[in-house]
Amino acid sequence: MEQKKMKSNRHPVHARQVVAYIVLVIMSILCLVWFYILFINATRSNGELGRGFSPIPSTHFVENWNNLIHGTLPVFNGLFNSFFIAITSSVLTVYFSSMTAYAIHVYDFKLKRFMFTFILSVMMIPTQVTALGFVRLVDRMGLEDNFIPLIIPAIAAPAVFYYMKQYMESTLPMSLVEASRIDGASEFRTFNSIVLPIMKPAIAVQMIFAFVGSWNNYFTPALILHDDKMKTLPILIAQLRAADWLKFDMGQVYMMIAFSIFPVIIVYIILSRYIVGGVALGAVKG
């Protein structure tokens, strides 16, 4: 009787696992099918795209690529500009947001609650509201066609700060910080050598989000960058789509969009192992 009960209890668990795997497979297919359509369309000509969708790759991949790189737009300059802005802003954003979260989490001072509330309240202000004043400030400082206005303001990221603060509350014991202070380590060494390694999973997650957000950002760079050699890939894609009907080539547009996705995939592959490692570590601790 006991063996029958144990067998009957195993069946619901097994059924739940099967359902979970089926749902995961369906969700994975729905996420990947759009990439498949994108890369299929990058192999088709403008005339073939005008006739409708086809799930079979065409033979115009090399033609679309040659038209793209030998066109009037500086594609590789746009790739370098986007990568430089995205990687620099994401690194600075994550580092200084983690440092701010560390200060709020570890230190006790009178304005601690006010500062925490004030930083979170900044999240409620849309970028579009401050765009006019930001552009006038950049113009007065002579920083148009410059990457500085796209990198330095990105350091102040309330959403990243809040995520790091919540992660520290659950993973960073104060006893570890106090032990480091007793050993004579400075606050910067404690933060860089002890806190940041503990925060690797959270840093990886926010690095991906910050990189993708900066990579896909069109609004702010379009206001600051006017020289074609300084523009990022989203601006060049918009220019390519806005071409007159005599020069418009949808296959070339799809090729450029596919070209712009590869760096994001590479960054995700590099950082995803830290996310998986952090989840596994949390499961072992639990």
Residue-wise pLDDT tens digits, 119-142: 888 878 777 788 888 889 888 998
Q: Give yes or no for a contact between 47 and 54, defined as CB atoms under 8 angstroms apart.
A: no
CB 258, CB 38: distance < 8 Å? yes
Q: What is the mean pLDDT of residues 27-53?
A: 86
Is pTM beyond 0.85? Reply is no
CA distance 225 to 270: 30
Residue 285 has pLDDT above 70, yes or no: no
Residue spans of alpha helices (H) in the chain: 2-41, 46-50, 61-69, 75-106, 112-121, 131-140, 148-151, 158-171, 174-182, 187-190, 196-198, 200-215, 219-224, 233-241, 250-285
Q: What is the pLDDT of residue 286?
A: 41
pLDDT of 28? 86
Q: How far is CA 2 from CA 8, 13, 15, 35, in A?
A: 10, 17, 21, 51
Model confidence over 211-254: pLDDT tens digits? 988 998 888 898 899 888 899 999 988 888 776 666 678 888 88
Predicted pLDDT at 143: 87
Domain ranges of the chain: 2-62, 64-285
Average pLDDT value for residue range 176-181: 84
Instruction: Give 2 or 126, the one with higher predicted confidence.
Output: 126
The domain 64-285 having CATH identifier 3.40.50.720: the answer here is no
pLDDT of 188 strictly over 70: yes
Q: Using CA atoms, how far apart are residues 235 and 217, in angstroms rounded to an integer?
A: 9
Average pLDDT, the chain: 83
